[in-house]
């Protein structure tokens, strides 16, 4: 039992990856559609490539979306508008007219004329309220049919043009008075009715919409039927018009039919196999080409989490409305992975994710082509994500690629641009804007997963930061040495294509441990007194080697990322403090090399190997007397060759060719630093 537990413990990282793999597969399959996929691929205007297709069962031929839309437009145009009529308003106006009529006309008017005026007023009210007065100006066509509702009961149907708008009241008054030859009293009537007339018609939107929806529900979504064993299309026949719609109807019916329990489980099993295969390819890629990432469970979890997130968001959008599918910023995935890892890994994960999403979306080939091309453009264009302008330029290029590729696909499918849906381009622009969210997302990921991006490295390289300020104040000599090493390391990294930003930051912080005992390091001794004179060689060596341990402690207290701490741990590897080792050996023949060796480990990446070379060369270069080109070349060769002989770079993935390139850079840089000057006369 104990052996079994020990075996589990030794393989806990592999077991964790297996569980992560299983959980990711199950979650992705759970998000997938649970119906079958139509086994034929076809496009409008292209020949049918498969064998003759006969109807496998009876099915209805569905109308196209355009046909349904046209029917709905026709129903909307012919729909009836419903208005509520308030009869109490007309009664109220008539009563008010009786009481206020005499006040509107002077007593000097003859009685006969007054009778005619009173009669004309009643006629005006009858005209105005024959069908009613609108409470506001509605923008409906004059030929629309209107149903008048009184207490929710339909009383009459008229044309909308028969209803009186409020600005038409004066014209009605004029029309009645001209017929009665009483136009000279127009002002009196206008003044009288200005206060009396009130609208009595209100648009009943809820009833109008309800009736329209009832009409919509009566629409037949099918136009014909295909019987079982009927020939649908022959091999080589061009797919177009009605044939295309029949095939789309068969595909829809095939994918939406109710599956038997056995079929359902077979489909689920098949989906699981395909998803597991895709994720397995990703793990194999990491194991073969990115072993450092594969061994780090946090990084593997981070990659799987991002894949799951993209599948989840895409599935949500597809379930809500498929037309918004291109708003999902899939290109955030390669951007994020490139920021934390490298371009090759970012592109590989992006392709795997897009292949998985092909099961979720319709027109999967078109979708996958667009997303893979956009991902490639993302990887090729974004070189330095911490520079904001680069991100904006890249987002612009991604959006342009989306638009161009979609336009090309649309023309291929439709053969014309007349029916092009320009609103789709707006979705691509929104997708580009959503991609800008990558910056805050990277910050969140850094905090959640403890990863380091170039943006964080840029912040850490600021010499005004708290820790580097303390380094420059407490140990100015060490700080100056670190700056020189940073410049040499950055130039070397650029020469061989390593991460220049990472190695620069590592160089700036690699000697922070010297802040604990600054006087014991020669670059900080300004008084001429050397405290090592009072110590034994063993004690001195211990103080010197301890600056690595002290540096790690200081780094952890200041929350420096592990990638930066790696430079502190490895910048001396397992090399000897040779000066004190030799001094001790002169006094005693039996010397333990472990007492004079740095704790290690040896450098395990190109960047940490570069720092080790640059640190040793820069520190030792201070001892050069009367430097010349030949001396500098021999000096650099000796130091780095000695490190190679000691096997310091065996764990680093650095080649001899790259080491030669680094030597060349160091020689050139040191030659510039120690260039000879002519003596100027005093």
User: What SS3 string covers 266-330?
Assistant: HHHHHHHHHHHHHHHHHHHHHHHHCHHHHHCHHHHHHHHHHHHHHHHHHHHHHHHCHHHHHHCCC
Q: What is the dihedral of CA 384, 390, 394, 395, to 10 degrees?
A: 120
Angle at 447 (CA atoms; ends 444, 450), nearest 5 degrees: 125
pLDDT score for 607? 93
Angle at 569 (CA atoms; ends 565, 574), nearest 5 degrees: 165
Contacts of 622 (CB under 8 A, 6+ apart): 522, 523
Identify the CA nearest to 661 among candidates 504, 499, 498.
Answer: 498
The model's pLDDT over 628-652, given as tens digits with 9 standing for 90+, comes to 778 888 889 999 999 999 999 999 8
Tokens of 618: 């820069």
Identify the CA nearest to 500 among candidates 452, 459, 457, 464.
Answer: 457
Identify the CA nearest to 373 among candidates 350, 357, 396, 356.
Answer: 350
| Residue spans of alpha helices (H) in 321-422 | 332-340, 343-357, 364-381, 388-414
Residue pair 555/509 in contact by the 8 Å Cβ criterion? yes
Long-range contacts of 483-487 (CB under 8 A, 24+ apart): 483/508, 484/618, 484/673, 485/510, 485/611, 485/614, 485/615, 485/618, 487/669
Strands 59-62 and 222-226: antiparallel
In angstroms, the CA 49 to CA 43 distance is 10
Phi/psi of residue 51, nearest 5 degrees: -70, 170
In angstroms, the CA 151 to CA 84 distance is 8
- E strand spans, 152-221: 153-159, 201-203
pLDDT score for 258? 45
What 3-state class would DSSP assign to 45? Answer: coil
pLDDT score for 167? 81
Identify the CA nearest to 162 among candidates 141, 193, 190.
Answer: 141
In angstroms, the CA 85 to CA 156 distance is 10
| DSSP state for residue 135 in the 8-state scheme | S
pLDDT score for 318? 85
In angstroms, the CA 349 to CA 355 distance is 10
Helix %, strand %, coil % of the chain (to 5): 65, 5, 25
Contacts of 301 (CB under 8 A, 6+ apart): 20, 449
pLDDT score for 35? 59
Whole-angstrom distance between the N-terminal and C-terminal Cα of the chain? 86
Tokens of 290: 């990115």
Query: Taking the CB of residue 338, how many other CB atoms lie within 10 A of it?
Result: 23
Phi/psi of residue 86, nearest 5 degrees: -105, 95
In angstroms, the CA 108 to CA 119 distance is 18
In angstroms, the CA 94 to CA 101 distance is 10
Measured in residues, the chain has a length of 682
Angle at 34 (CA atoms; ends 29, 39), nearest 5 degrees: 105
Tokens of 597: 């060796």
Cis peptide before 601 (omega within 30 of 0): yes
Give me the residues paired with residue 231 across strands: 54
Task: Give the DSSP per-residue string, 535-599.
Answer: S-HHHHHHHHHHHHHHHHHHHHHTT--HHHHHHHHHTTTT-B-HHHHHHHHHH-S---GGGGB--
Give the residue ranges of the chain where pLDDT is below 70.
Answer: 1-9, 34-41, 43, 45-46, 106-108, 110, 113, 180-182, 254-262, 382-388, 413-415, 419, 527-528, 589, 675-682
Residue pair 384/454 in contact by the 8 Å Cβ criterion? yes
Phi/psi of residue 525, nearest 5 degrees: -95, 105
Query: In Å, what is the CA distance from 536 to each residue of 425, 531, 541?
Result: 76, 11, 9
| DSSP state for residue 533 in the 8-state scheme | G
> Residue with structure tokens 């780094």?
555
Q: Which fold has domain 454-673?
A: Hypothetical protein af1432 (1.10.3210)
pLDDT score for 38? 65
Query: Taking the CB of residue 33, how many other CB atoms lie within 10 A of it?
Result: 15
Q: Which helix (H) or strand (E) segment is 57 a member of?
A: none
Residue pair 325/314 in contact by the 8 Å Cβ criterion? yes
pTM of the full structure = 0.63
Cα 233 to chain center, whole Å? 42
pLDDT score for 678? 47
């Amino acid at each position: 039992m104990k052996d079994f537990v020990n075996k589990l413990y030794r393989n806990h990282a592999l077991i964790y990856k297996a569980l992560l793999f299983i959980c990711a597969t199950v979650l992705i399959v759970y998000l997938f559609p649970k119906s079958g996929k139509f086994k034929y691929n076809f496009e409008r205007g292209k020949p049918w490539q498969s064998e003759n297709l006969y109807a496998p069962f009876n099915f209805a031929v569905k109308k196209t979306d355009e046909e349904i839309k046209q029917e709905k437009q026709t129903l909307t145009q012919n729909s009836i508008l419903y208005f509520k009529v308030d009869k109490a308003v007309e009664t109220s106006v008539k009563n008010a007219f009786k009481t206020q009529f005499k006040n509107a006309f002077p007593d000097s008017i003859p009685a006969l004329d007054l009778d005619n005026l009173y009669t004309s007023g009643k006629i005006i009210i009858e005209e105005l309220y024959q069908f009613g007065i609108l409470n506001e100006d509605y923008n409906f066509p004059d030929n629309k049919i209107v149903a008048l509702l009184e207490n929710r009961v339909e009383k009459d149907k008229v044309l909308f043009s028969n209803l009186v708008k409020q600005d038409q009241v004066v014209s009605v008054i004029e029309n009645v008075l001209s017929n009665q030859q009483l136009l000279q009293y127009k002002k009196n009537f206008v003044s009288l009715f200005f206060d009396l007339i009130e609208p009595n018609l209100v648009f009943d939107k809820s009833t109008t919409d309800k009736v329209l929806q009832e009409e919509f529900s009566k629409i037949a979504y099918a136009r014909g039927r295909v019987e079982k064993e009927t020939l649908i299309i022959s091999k080589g026949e061009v797919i177009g018009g009605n044939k295309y719609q029949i095939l789309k109807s068969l595909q829809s019916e095939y994918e939406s039919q109710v599956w038997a329990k056995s079929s359902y489980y077979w489909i689920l099993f098949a989906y699981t196999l395909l998803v597991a295969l895709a994720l397995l390819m990703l793990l194999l890629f990491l194991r073969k080409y990115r072993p450092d990432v594969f061994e780090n469970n946090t990084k593997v979890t981070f990659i799987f989490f991002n894949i799951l997130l993209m599948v989840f968001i895409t599935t949500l959008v597809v379930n809500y409305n498929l037309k918004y599918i291109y708003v999902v910023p899939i290109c955030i995935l390669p951007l994020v992975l490139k920021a934390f890892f490298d371009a090759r890994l970012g592109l590989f994960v992006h392709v795997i994710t897009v292949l998985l999403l092909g099961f979720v979306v319709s027109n999967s080939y078109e979708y996958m082509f667009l997303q893979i091309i956009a991902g490639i453009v993302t990887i090729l264009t974004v070189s330095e994500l911490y520079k904001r302008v680069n991100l904006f330029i890249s987002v612009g290029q991604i959006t342009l690629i989306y638009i161009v590729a979609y336009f090309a696909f649309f023309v291929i499918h439709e053969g014309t641009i007349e029916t092009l849906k320009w609103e789709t381009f707006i979705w691509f622009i929104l997708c580009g804007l959503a991609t800008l969210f990558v910056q805050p997302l990277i910050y969140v990921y850094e905090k959640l997963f403890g990863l380091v991006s170039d943006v964080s490295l840029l912040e850490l390289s600021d010499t005004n930061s708290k820790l580097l300020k303390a380094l420059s104040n407490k140990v100015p000599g060490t700080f100056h040495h670190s700056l020189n090493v940073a410049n040499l390391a950055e130039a070397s990294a650029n020469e061989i294509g390593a991460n220049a930003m990472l190695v620069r930051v590592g160089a700036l912080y690699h000697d922070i441990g010297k802040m604990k005992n600054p006087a014991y390091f020669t670059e900080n001794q300004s008084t001429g007194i050397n405290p090592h004179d009072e110590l034994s060689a063993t004690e001195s060596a211990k103080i010197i080697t301890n600056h690595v341990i002290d540096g790690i402690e200081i780094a952890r207290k200041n929350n420096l990322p592990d990638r930066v701490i790696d430079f502190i741990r490895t910048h001396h590897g397992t090399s000897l403090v040779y000066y004190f080792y030799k001094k001790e050996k002169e006094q005693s023949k039996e010397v333990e090399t472990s007492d004079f060796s740095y704790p290690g480990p040896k450098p395990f990446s190109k960047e940490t190997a570069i720092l080790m070379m640059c640190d040793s060369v820069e520190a030792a270069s201070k001892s050069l007397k009367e430097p010349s080109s030949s001396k500098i070349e021999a000096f650099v060769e000796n130091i780095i060759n000695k490190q190679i002989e000691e096997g310091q770079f065996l764990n680093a993935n650095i080649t001899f060719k790259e080491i030669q390139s680094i030597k060349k850079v160091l020689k050139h840089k040191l030659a510039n630093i120690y260039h000879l000057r002519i003596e100027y006369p005093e």
